[in-house]
Each structure stands twice: as structure tokens, then as C-alpha cells.
Amino acid sequence: MDFSIKAYDTKNPILSAKTGCVAVAVYENKKLSAAAAALDQSGDISAAIKSGDITGKAGTSLLLRGVGGVSAARVLLVGMGAFDAVTDKAFTTAVHATLKCFGQLGASDAIIAFPLTEVKGRDLAWAIHTIVIGAHEAQFRTDGQKSKKDPERTGVKKLLLAVDAVDAKAKLALAQAQAIARGMDLTKELGNLSANVCTPTYLANTAKKLGKEYKFDVEVLDRKQLEALKMNSFLSVTNGSDEPPKFIVLKHMGGKKNDAPVVLVGKGITFDTGGISLKAGAGMDEMKYDMCGAASVLGTFRAIGEMGLDLNVVGIIAACENMPSGRATKPGDIVTSMAGLTIEVLNTDAEGRLVLCDALAYAERFNPAAVVDIATLTGACIVALGHHNSGLFARDDAASNGLVQQLLDAGKQAGDTAWRLPIGEAYNDQLKSNFADLGNIGTPGGASCTAAAFLENFTRSYAWAHLDIAGTAWKSGGAKGATGRPVPLLSTFLINRA
């Protein structure tokens, strides 16, 4: 969909806008928004509301044709909830209802003339982001691997957003929203691809394509180089697979030459059988999504590349498969990580932390300002937080606490929220092993916290935070598919730092 913004005022009234459809807001108390009132010269809109054809409840809608005095072919009335108390949920619900209707129209262009600056606790940028990302979500296709594609969608292809003034702030908000939305699209496309296509090599090639398009430096390390780096923890996960591992490093050096970079580290298990600690068969197909941390790093790089963000950012992706075979790592095996710590592999299905710990050790060479790792790490995080919030973990010191607050604020700003959960010595005690420095799983209880505590052992030279996205990266059931999260959170976090 093509997006643009335009200001409407007394010199350029919305009444004279020539378009296939203009969407305006109405409220539960039968009150009209300013744009709806401006279109109601004939009284047709007021009459429709008085008749009870639309209640104003958030997400309700009514399509009118041939409204007197209005140049637009159609007027879409959309409920926005209570007047003077428009919540972000009500606004988002109204946007989704509008976009659904636009997708079914015979019109190719439309205008959204909602009150973009009247949402409680939100600003113009948030409203624009909500509309643009919602439109991308509505148009996103999942039929890439079907032999017969779904019918081409009709409906609105050009969407204009009516704003109070077309200033630098509005233009920037629209550009950033489109970049983030396209980054989310890439993350979803990668997540939804079958694991026989989206292999570690495929992820590496995707990174190289992004590098060419956006002038990133991209380096891909193969097994021999990983062996030379003594990444034996990472390599222990890939031992059972015929697919070669790939360790992918992207660099967006948009800041000053000597500025310390922010490093994003993504878990890239392109398929996770559990290894010798084999998972149950039911639902195992969804383990193609175990690379969504890696996909979110690539999606975020696509966004910051398009924005040309004035910040130094490094992306690290540890990509491999976790498969059972005669070569596979066995429960009870002990491996030595890049950092020199020995790890007793008590459960080969706790593999994400085994690849991430070496990636986090590798991140130290960049003298980072901050490191954030992103991983579909634990089912326990879904138990704790459901599918609403990503789990956020960090040690309790000034640098990491400041990083945590930046991430939490960015999540709220982007509508891609996270919730902080604890780590500390009590959880580290659960990881003690009789035979190695650490076990890769803890004693029962607090599995998300012990997983994060495991990672913390490899991050003590820099500010670090861990995002467990197991509950937010994809949906199951009839709506099965990758969500694109946490690209909005990460992109907003980086925008704010820049």
C-alpha cells in the first residue's frame, strides 16, 4: 500500500477531497469528530447516527454512499468509543475495522481522517505508526509457498492520512512507520518459511542481500572459523545436523566512527527437534519459528537501513539446526564455551542458550555500549506472560537497569510491550553442576529466569538485556504465523538512542 499525508483546513476542506472513501470517527454519545462534522453539511451523517445504524462503540462501522455535498464517493463512519477519552485500544480497534472495510471496497484510494492527536497518552507518531503497521498486517500474504496463489486482493491501494499540518515531525513519523512495517514484513516472511527452505544458509544469504541494498558490512563465519574461535557450545547444537552452521555478523555504522555500537544478538535455530531430548510430535512443525530472534534482527536491520539511522549497530546471528543423529550431542556431554566456561548439557532441547552464550561472548570484541539478545527461549515465558508481553531480563546494576528502562519505554511507545522478570544468584544456584561450571538447565521452577541467568554469566563486561519472545514471536491455531515482533520495540529503542 502507498501512503501519504496531507493537511486539511478551511482553505482545503475535507468536504472537497476527491477519493474513493473517507473514513471519519464517531463517538458513543452520538457526537461527531471534527472531520465527521465537516462532512455533515447535508445532515446525512447525523441522521444515520440518530437512526441507531451505528453506536459509536469502538470498531463499529457504517458505510454511506452519496453523502450530500461530499466529493468523496463514500463516507465510512467508524466508532471510536467514548468522546474525550479515546484509548489506544479503542483507536487501534477502529483502525483495524477501517482497514478491513477498505480491503473489501471497489475503491483504490481512501483517506483516514481520524483524530490522530486525541488518543489518551499517545502522540501523532504513534497514531501514524498504528495505521501504517495495521495496513501492512492487513495486506500481508502467507501464500508464498502455495502452488496456486490466493486471489489477488482488491480494495484500497493508496491511503492518505489527514493531519493538522504536514511538518517535519509528521513526515518523519510516516517514514519511520513504513520502514518498521517493512522490517516486520521481512521478519514474518522468514518466520513463516518452511525449515527446508529457511536454513542457516538462507538466513546468511538474506543478510548478504540486505548488506548490498543498505551498505551494511556483512561477514558469515563457517564451521572451521567457529572451531578456531572455540565456539564449542554453539557447535555442540549443530553436531547432529547435515545443514552447516552460519554465524552472521552485520554492521550498520551510521554513527560517529568511534562511538560504541549497540549489539543485537539473535537466536537462529532454523528447526528445533530437541535433539536427543526429542520433542513431542504434536506441534513440532512450529519449531520452524525458533529462528524468530534471528529474523527480528534482520527485520530491524532492514528498518534502520531504510531510515539511515545515525547510530552504530551490530547484528549477530547464531544460526543452525538442532537435530538427532549418531553425531548429535548427548545429555550428560560437557562442552567448553568460547568464554572458557564448561557446560554440562543436561537437556539438548535447551539449545538456544548454548548458541547464544558463544554469540554473547563474541559480542565483547565490539566494546559495545549495550547488548540485547532476542530469542524464542522458553515455553515457561508463555506460562508466565502469555502472548501479550515479551519477557525482559537483566542484571541489577545501573548500566543494565538503564538499558531495561529504555527497552520498556520503547515497547510502550511502539505498542510492542515487554515485562521485566528477575534473575540473580538464587537462579544461578539452580544451574550448579557436579561436573562442569554450569548446567544448561536448572532445577525445577523459574525456567525462564534460570535460562536468562545462564546467559548472564557470559555478559558481565557490558550492559546487557535479554528478550524472551517465545510467547510473542508467532501465533498458533487458525491464525498461525509469525507476528513480526519485537521489530517495533527494537527499532523504536534504536531510534530513541539515535
- 151 and 204 co-located in one domain: no
- What does the radius of gyration of the chain's CA atoms come to, in whole angstroms? 25
pLDDT at 10: 79
- 98 and 127 co-located in one domain: yes
175 within domain boundaries: no
**What is the DSSP secondary structure assignment for residue 260, as one 8-state letter?**
P
Residue 401 CB burial class (10 angstroms; 0-12, 13-18, ≥19): middle
Residue that is last in its domain, among 100, 129, 162? 162
Each residue of 269-316: pLDDT tens digit?
Answer: 999 999 999 999 999 999 999 999 999 999 999 999 999 999 999 999
173 within domain boundaries: no
Measure the N-to-C terminal CA separation of the chain; round to a whole number of Å.
28
pLDDT at 440: 98
pLDDT at 153: 72
Domain harbouring 238, CATH code: 3.40.630.10
88 within domain boundaries: yes
3-state secondary structure of 185: helix
Residues involved in catalysis: 279, 353
- 408 and 463 co-located in one domain: yes
pLDDT at 85: 86
3-state helix, strand, coil in the chain (%, to 5): 40, 20, 40
- 125 and 199 co-located in one domain: no
Cα distance between residue 469 and residue 290, in whole Å: 10
DSSP one-letter string for 186-204: HHHHHHHS-TTTS-HHHHH
Q: Which residues pair with 266 in a beta bridge?
A: 317, 374
- 274 and 357 co-located in one domain: yes
pLDDT at 58: 96
Residue that is last in its domain, among 162, 195, 214? 162
387 within domain boundaries: yes
pLDDT at 11: 84
Cα distance between residue 313 and residue 351, in whole Å: 26
- 191 and 158 co-located in one domain: no
153 within domain boundaries: yes
169 within domain boundaries: no
pLDDT at 373: 98
Domain harbouring 17, CATH code: 3.40.220.10
**What parts of the chain have a pLDDT lower than 50?**
none
Extended strands (E) in 406-494? 418-420, 438-439, 464-468, 474-475, 481-482
pLDDT at 30: 87
Each residue of 149-183: pLDDT tens digit?
Answer: 888 777 899 999 999 999 999 999 999 999 999 99
- 12 and 43 co-located in one domain: yes
- 349 and 492 co-located in one domain: yes
- 138 and 203 co-located in one domain: no
Cα distance between residue 143 and residue 496, in whole Å: 35
- 149 and 229 co-located in one domain: no
Tell me the whole-structure pTM to 2 decimals.
Answer: 0.96
- 449 and 308 co-located in one domain: yes
pLDDT at 12: 87
Cα distance between residue 175 and residue 295, in whole Å: 22
pLDDT at 477: 92
Domain that holds residue 459: 180-497
- 286 and 225 co-located in one domain: yes
Count of domains in the chain?
2
Residue that is last in its domain, among 162, 189, 223? 162
